[in-house]
Chains A and B, each alone.
Chain A
Amino acid sequence: MSLYHGIFKRDMQIAFKQKAELVQPLMFLLMVVTLFPLGVSPSPDTLQRIGPGVIWIAAILSSLMAMERLFRDDFQDGSLEQYILSGMALPAVSAVKVAAHWLVSFVPLLLLSPLLAVFLNLTVDMYIALVLTLLLGTPLLSLIGAIAVGLTVGLQKGGVLLALLLIPVFIPLLIFATSAVDSAALQLPYHAQLAIIAAMLLLATALAPFAIAYSLKVSQN
């Protein structure tokens, strides 16, 4: 157990030494969200209507920027080889790394979300729904994204391919998440949407670590 704790600690340590890479996706997200009122219309009604979608799309796009960091360095400097040769359970290693990655790349986003909600004139109900969907949805982004990162880590310029692979997969999540916030705007219950996102998250939590481990092994070949 302490072994996996060690990986977690190491990943956090590295993340905080590469602050620029941590801040970049967040700045991107903030800029996209602030550009919308300028580009579309500053009218509060319009912003409220498009707000949830804008935040979620910006979150998905900025997550793609941060995603590559997950295994890129470990692959390039050979740490991944040493992980495999240490005889540790690779699915568990992947799960720990994804958890650390989620903490450093999505928790700041969650902390930033009240500000985004004010920017886009979301009501309190909408904001609560947004945070709930982000809480359930962003771990899903990390887990599914990590599979694709594992597959593309050995390729040069895998970034574009990563986006092509992942964006279609994230569409269902985007639909359910924004529909939950829309329901909240109309004072309707949105448990169903949350339940579906939670179900996707549980399925991904159970299966993704094995898929990530397999994709990392394949990229060693």
Chain B
Amino acid sequence: MLEACGLTCSKRDRTLFEGLSLVVNTGELLYLRGPNGAGKTSLLRILTGLSAPDAGTVLHNGRDISVDKSGYYRDLFYLGHKSGTNGSLSALDNLSFWLAQHKVSVDVNVLYDVLEKVGLVGLEDIPVRYLSAGQQRRVALSRLWLKPAKVWILDEPFTALDVKGVHMLESSMKDHVAKGGLIVTTSHQPLSETAGKHCVFDLEYRF
């Protein structure tokens, strides 16, 4: 369960949100909506613990994430606007490094299975820089199926993905929720039926 209590965040003298509270239970998908500049990314970064809120706390299973960081991070998968892949390294190098970094041991065959699933077989040895934007996004997303994390926090995961990619991601979101996972995501396109049931949280632009 992920819980935010009384979060306040201001950027450059503008209050993005004040006293914001939300609860996401396991088996729930929270779809965060709001215009550009409303603070969706800021909120997600606070939920991951990457930035600190001006006030308020984030609780994961009742424990403050700023206290029990390593426990939370074991259970967390975060994908931001930046893909977290180095352009000079190949998809395979990037993924194996990331897996080692996150202490996930995965068999090479599983790795290839996932690469096949995201349609990158044959491209795994090419420096990521030379792949298209959508393919780079797929490299970043393939971690979703490699790290057994309960909490997914996805910031605009559909950016640059084609229709098939969006469909694949939505159906794995549905699977993840059905298996007792928890997802917080933002997107400017509405989620389709494939993503399953979800709650919507609206963030408003404040002046």
Contacts and interface: CB of A to CB of B under 8 A. Distances in A.
Interface stretch (A23-31, A78-86, A102-110, A116-124): A78-86
A14 B89 contact: yes
Contacts, number: 75
Contact of B100 (A6, A74, A85, A221): A6
A34 interface: no
A73 interface: yes
Contact of A84 (B50, B74, B83): B50
B86 A73 contact: yes
B102 A86 contact: yes
Contacts of B78: 81, 85
A81 to B, nearest CB: 6
A88 B83 CA distance: 19
Nearest to A75: B82
A173 to B, nearest CB: 32
Contacts of A73: 86-87
A77 B50 CA distance: 15
Interface residues of B, number: 30
Contacts of B52: 221
A41 interface: no
Given A3-B101, A10-B89, A86 B84 contact: no
A85 B98 contact: no
Interface in B78-132: 78, 80-89, 93, 97-98, 100-103, 127
B73 to A, nearest CB: 4
Given A6-B97, A85-B76, A220 B51 contact: yes
B70 A78 contact: no
Nearest to A88: B101
Given A14-B88, A17-B88, A87-B70, A78 B101 contact: no
B93 A76 contact: no
Interface in A63-114: 73-74, 76-79, 81-88
Nearest to B87: A77
Contacts of B69: 87
A78 B81 CA distance: 8
Interface in B139-187: none
A140 to B, nearest CB: 28
Interface majority SS (helix, strand, loop, mixed), chain A: helix
B48 interface: yes
Nearest to A79: B84
A85 B51 CA distance: 11
Nearest to A17: B88
A220 B102 contact: no
Nearest to B82: A78
Contacts of A156: none
Nearest to B42: A221
A81 B101 contact: no
Interface of B: 45, 48-52, 69-70, 73-74, 76, 78, 80-89, 93, 97-98, 100-103, 127
28 contacts: A2-B100, A3-B100, A6-B101, A7-B101, A13-B89, A17-B127, A77-B82, A77-B85, A78-B81, A78-B82, A78-B83, A79-B84, A81-B50, A81-B84, A82-B84, A82-B98, A82-B101, A84-B50, A85-B73, A85-B76, A85-B102, A86-B102, A86-B103, A87-B69, A87-B74, A220-B45, A221-B51, A221-B52
